[in-house]
């Protein structure tokens, strides 16, 4: 593990100016459901609030207090006023903390921590309930749900803490989190998906009926590797190795397989109503938040 997490505990993850810019963004959520208290999100349900939405015809049993008597005076017809109801949303941010994520320059796990902190902060800034977790060793290590910017330091401390997971067990960890999930809203997974059960994990997370966004984080060395002629490649989690001969043909086949893998994941997530984004770990965080995620409408 690199020393970056320790440094993160000694200084703020972001300066005040960056946090103020973040507050101009909001996580998009197209699947909202009733929460335990009213928040700032608009629901697709119609209920009572201060913002008028529409009319519908009066039917027997409707609340007479919702009749629009001004419309009745003009049209001599009874109409019920409908209002936009504001509902609570829970933002879920999951970070893969396996050994394979502790790789690359820039380090994938360090990048995922910072991106997760920024995305979770958006939820706090907009009074959403925020749940964050690390996935590793077949389980989800969660922080209790937070709300409000007053919880920012608690959030940042959790995401900066040292992690000791050595393997992913991504499918089991995702199932663990999904089984305990409370409250629907945006669900963002930051992972390199280097686990045999990655499709099972995505299926379980999509089944929660949250709005799934998968940020597939890969290091520059993984996107465009330079393999010497005679090399031994070591799996970062299992420790198993394989002898390879690095040449142009190997590089071409690697890139083709990588592209097919990313396309498979993107199609899988899209069929379940989610968003898939391939993210290099050397992408500037401001570029991720204010450009890439905005263009894909993960944030607005």
| Residue 46: C-alpha distances to residues 37, 54, 58, 85 (Å) | 16, 9, 15, 6
Checking if the pLDDT of 299 tops 70, the result is yes
Q: Is the pLDDT of residue 86 over 80?
A: no
The model scores a pTM over 0.75: yes
Higher pLDDT, 203 or 61: 203
Q: What percent of the chain has pLDDT over 70?
A: 85
pLDDT of residue 30: 47
| pLDDT at residue 21 is higher than 70 | yes
* Residue 2 pLDDT class (50, 70, 90 cuts): very low
State how far Cα 197 lies from the chain centre. Answer: 19
pLDDT in tens, 228-260: 787 777 777 777 778 777 778 888 899 999 999
Rounded to whole angstroms, the Cα distance separating 19 from 14 reads 7
Nearest to 42 by CA among 27, 55, 32: 32
The rounded mean pLDDT for the chain is 85
Asked if pLDDT for residue 160 goes beyond 90, the answer is yes
Instruction: List strand residue ranges (DSSP E) for 108-240, in order.
Output: 129-136, 139-142, 146-147, 186-191, 211-218, 230-234
Confidence of residue 9 (pLDDT cuts 50, 70, 90): very low
Q: Which of the pair, 86 or 267, is modelled with greater confidence?
A: 267
pLDDT at 38: 45
User: Has residue 7 got a pLDDT over 60?
Assistant: no
**Superfamily of domain 4-31+88-295, CATH level 4:** von Willebrand factor, type A domain (3.40.50.410)
Structure tokens at 17: 């100016």
Greater confidence, 43 or 99? 99
For residue 83, the model assigns a pLDDT of: 62
Q: Where are the domains of the chain?
A: 4-31+88-295, 41-86
Name the pLDDT band for 87 (thresholds 50, 70, 90): low
| Mean per-residue pLDDT, 258-280 | 97
Residue 228: predicted pLDDT:
78
Tokens read off for 156:
């940042």
For the chain, what percent of residues have pLDDT higher than 90? 61
């Amino acid at each position: 593990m690199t020393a970056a997490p320790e440094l993160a505990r000694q200084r703020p993850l972001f300066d005040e100016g960056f946090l103020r810019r973040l507050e101009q963004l909001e996580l998009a959520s197209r699947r909202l459901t009733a929460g335990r208290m009213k928040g700032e999100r608009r629901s697709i349900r119609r209920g009572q609030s201060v913002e008028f939405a529409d009319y519908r015809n009066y039917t027997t049993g409707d609340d007479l207090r919702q009749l629009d008597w001004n419309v009745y005076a003009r049209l001599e017809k009874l109409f019920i006023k409908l209002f936009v109801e504001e509902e609570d949303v829970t933002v879920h941010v999951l970070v893969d903390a396996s050994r394979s994520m502790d790789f690359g320059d820039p380090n994938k796990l360090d990048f995922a921590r910072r991106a997760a902190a920024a995305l979770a902060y958006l939820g706090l800034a907009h009074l959403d309930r925020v749940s964050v977790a690390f996935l590793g060793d077949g389980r989800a290590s969660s922080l209790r749900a937070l709300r409000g910017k007053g919880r920012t330091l608690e959030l940042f401390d959790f995401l900066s803490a040292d992690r000791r997971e050595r393997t992913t067990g991504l499918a089991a960890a995702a199932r663990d989190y999904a089984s305990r999930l409370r409250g629907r809203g945006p669900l963002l997974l930051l992972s390199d998906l280097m686990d045999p059960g990655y499709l099972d994990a995505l299926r379980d997370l999509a089944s929660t009926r949250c709005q799934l966004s998968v940020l597939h984080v890969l290091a520059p060395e993984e996107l465009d590797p330079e393999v010497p002629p005679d090399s031994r490649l070591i799996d970062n989690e299992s420790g198993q190795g394989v002898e390879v001969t690095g040449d142009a043909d190997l590089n071409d086949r690697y890139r083709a397989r990588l592209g097919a893998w990313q396309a498979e994941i993107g199609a899988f997530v899209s069929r379940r109503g989610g968003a898939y984004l391939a993210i290099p770990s050397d992408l500037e965080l401001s570029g991720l938040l204010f450009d890439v995620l905005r263009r894909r409408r993960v944030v607005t």
